[in-house]
Structures are given as structure tokens and as C-alpha cells.
Structure 1
Amino acid sequence: MGGVVRSEYSGDGLGEGDLARSPLEQVRRWVAAAEARQAETGDVPEPTALSVATVDADGRPNVRTVLLRFLDDRGPGFVTDLGSAKSREIAATGAVAAALTWPTMYRAIRFRGTAVPVGRDEIAAYFVARPWGSRISAWASDQSQPVANRAALVAAYERYAALYPDTGSVDDVPVPDGWGGWRIDCDEVELWAGRRDRLHDRLVYARVGPGGLGAADAWVVHRRQP
């Protein structure tokens, strides 16, 4: 067995004076920086990859990675099959946590809160913006359910591809009834910034009143030890 590999974190850290007044502005800053770095250096693949954690009926946690598709005053959101394991677990408890992580930038953001459904109008608007093949896959995959083999999955895709051929129109594939999304109504947003010697910075926006992610007076900031 090989020795332990250690990496020194050489990030710039994060001070209270560097924070935006609202968590929405701060999250947008870091997401934009990750996207810009990916465009420049290519070392931040899928900068909007969002790890989503839920709890099953036995109290056991589940985590999986989706893509951040919505980010506004109401919170971060993602799309999924409403019959998937994540959706069933969210519907049962309402509880959800998620994280954006950029190792090469020594940065991460954690969200904790309650999941609320994304409106059908927003889902429909996003669905038509997807490539045709991705829209077909939404029909072909009964997400989280067992499948006999890869061939069965491909056969389902081909069946729906024939049913809804690519005409170049945004309306050539209808939105499946069971396809939707979830948004996190956050109680807490934590910014993590790596530093040398593991003395990392953890600054947390904690909710203290009503208002969205962009309402500065709805949040207070405190520091956590690393």
C-alpha cells in the first residue's frame, strides 16, 4: 500500500471583508469565476456540477451529482425525473443539502434547506432549450429504476426517437409529465476557501429573517472553524 499523498492548499482564502452583502451575489461571483477559469484553462470541468444529498426512509443518506440549472433569489435549483430516488426522498422529508466544489480553485459552496418544486412554466422553458437528444433521453429513462441491460435502455431511446423525430423545432419533443425539478429554499449557505496548513476559511450566511438569497437583511454571517 502506497504512502499517503498530501496536497498543500494554496488558495487565496476568504475574509469577511471580501464577502458580498447577500449570498446570492456571492454565489454568483464564485460560479462566474469557475466558469471563466474553465473557459481559460480547462481545469474546472462542469463548473456547475452540484452534489445533492437526501435521506431515504431508513435514515440513510444518498448523494449524487446533477447540474445547477437555476440560480436566483429563490435559491439554487436542478432538474430531474420526479419519480427518481432523489425526488421520492425529497418529497418524503423536504430536506435537502447540496454542494458546488471546485478543487483546483480551493473553493466550495454548501447549501442546506428545504426543497420546493420548480414551476411547470420554468421547467417547460428549460426543457425546450435542451438538445433534442437530451429531451429524448428524458422520455427513455425511468430514472433510478432497474433496467435489464444497456441494450434495453438504447431500445427505449430509439423508440422515443422514432416517436418524436428531430424536426429542428423546440416543440418536436413534449415535456414528460414526470419530468421536473427542485429548488433549495436555503436556511444556510457556507463558503469554503482552502488555505495552507489546513487553516481553511469557512464563512456562513445563516438565515435570520424572511427573504430570498438576494435579501441582505435576511442573513447574518459567522465564521466556523475548519
Structure 2
Amino acid sequence: MTQNELKNTQTTERDEPFRMFGEWLKEAERSEPNDPNAVALATVDPDGMPNVRMVLLKGYDNRGFVFYTNFESTKGVEILSSMKAAMCFHWKSLRRQVRIRGSVEKVSNEEADAYFASRPRGSRIGAWASKQSRTLESRYALEKAVAGYTAKFSVGEIPRPDYWSGLRIKPMSIEFWQDKQFRLHDRLVFSATDDGRWTTTRLYP
């Protein structure tokens, strides 16, 4: 489905919003100067205070949208406490936005191991060296930790830390937003049904 085919229908096939997302992402990969897979990730802390930061989408299919993180980081702790999150892609060059809300599940160990092994060696060292989101007493302390783990893993493969893995947002809703003249934008929302299909609804801009 393209931007000119945002039509209201009662129900759609199980993978329709993912096909549409894939088309939009491919167009973003051709037009965005940096990180077309960058996405704002929203979470909530135990006191109900929202948090948001940018992460990189590392995969998607009809099961959901995957990113990787240190589970002991702020976002890791917040997500694991609620198992809910939201995402927002904004592709300025295309004047498009995609919003995703849903529950969260951990990816399998096999998925996490495969992605971790694909990362540059320096990034794998960094996953061990960084106590993500915690207080850093000095830049030297981080550099010392990097040097220590570089020496420790100087030979052979670098294993994935137990606290580092992937999370998958399983969408309950996906909204596609397309800029239009006079701010009369197109907004199409896919909402998940109990049988794994989707209903679609158009919203006023």
C-alpha cells in the first residue's frame, strides 16, 4: 500500500501493516541522510514518569519490531518492569511518521547471539565495558574498562553478556501519518484484533 492508497477497510490481512512499513522504510533508506532505522522509544518508569530516547531498529516481521539494549540500562529496567513500550519513526525527508504501541517480549537467545556476533568487535567490547545509564566517575574509568575487556577478549570470540539482549514490541496499533498541504494530513491506524488480523481506521489530522 502506498501513500496514495491509504484506504479505509474493515479488516486487513495479518501482514498488511508490516508490508506497508517495509515500503516506507525502503523509501526512507533512499532519502534519509543518516540512520533511516532510527526511532524514538518511549517507556514509563515505576512512578509513571515517561521517558524517551532514540534507538536503532534492528529487525521487524509480523511478530513485531526489534531493538537491542543493556537490560540494566534505564530503558531496559523500565521496559522489563511493564513489558510495554511505544515507538515513533519520523522521516523528515519524506514528511512521514509511523507510531507503534504494544506489549514487549524478549527475543530468543539464538536471535540475540546471532545479532551480537554480527556487531563490530569494538561494539561487543563496549557492551561489556559500559554500565549503561549508571553514574560514570570519569571518562578515564570507561577507557580503563574498555582496555581491560579488550585484553580479556584478545583471542577468540567475544561472548554476549547475560544482561544484553533484544526486545520485540508486539504492536497493538500502528499509525501511518503522511504530511499533506494545509496540514490536512493522512492518518491511518491499524489496530490488532484477537484473531491476529487488523482493523483500519482513518483519523482527522
Same fold? TM cut 0.5: yes
CA contact (8 A) 1:50 1:66 kept: yes
Corresponding position: 1:37 with 2:31: yes
Which of 10, 22, 29 matches 1:28? 22
Deviation (angstroms), 1:84: 1.1
Secondary structure of the residue aligned to 1:128 is helix
Is the CA contact 2:31–2:93 (under 8 Å) kept in the aligned structure 1? Answer: no
5+ unaligned residues in a row in structure 2: which ranges?
none
Q: Which moved more, 1:85-94 or 1:185-194?
A: 85-94
1:132 to 108, 112, 121: 121
Give the one of 6, 19, 30 matched to 1:16. Answer: 6
Equivalence map 1:1-226=2 (5 Å):
14-17=4-7, 22-38=16-32, 43=33, 45-165=34-154, 172-211=157-196, 218-226=197-205
Deviation, structure 1 residue 104 = 1.4
Please give the alpha-carbon distance, in whole angstroms, between the structure 2 residues aligned to 1:154 and 1:101: 34
Count how many residue pairs are aligned between Structure 1 and Structure 2.
200
Deviations 1:76-110 (A, max 9, x none): 01000011111111111122001111011101111
Shift, 1:179, TM fit: 0.4
Amino acid at match of 1:150: R
Q: Distance in 2 between matches of 1:102 and 1:16?
A: 18
What's the % identity of the aligned pairs?
38
Amino acid at match of 2:6: E
SS at match of 1:225: coil
Q: Which amino acid aligns with 1:144?
A: S
Distance 2:195 2:145 in 1: 46
Determine the C-alpha separation between the residues in 2 that align with 1:36 and 1:13: 16
Q: What TM-score do the two structures reach when normalised by structure 2?
A: 0.91
Counterpart of 1:190, as a letter, is E
What is the CA-CA distance between 1:209 and the residue it aligns to? 2.5
CA distance in 1: counterparts of 2:77 and 2:109, whole angstroms: 18
Gaps of 5+ in 1: 1-11, 212-217
Which stretch has the larger CA shift, 115-124 or 142-151? 142-151
Note the aligned Cα RMSD (angstroms): 1.9
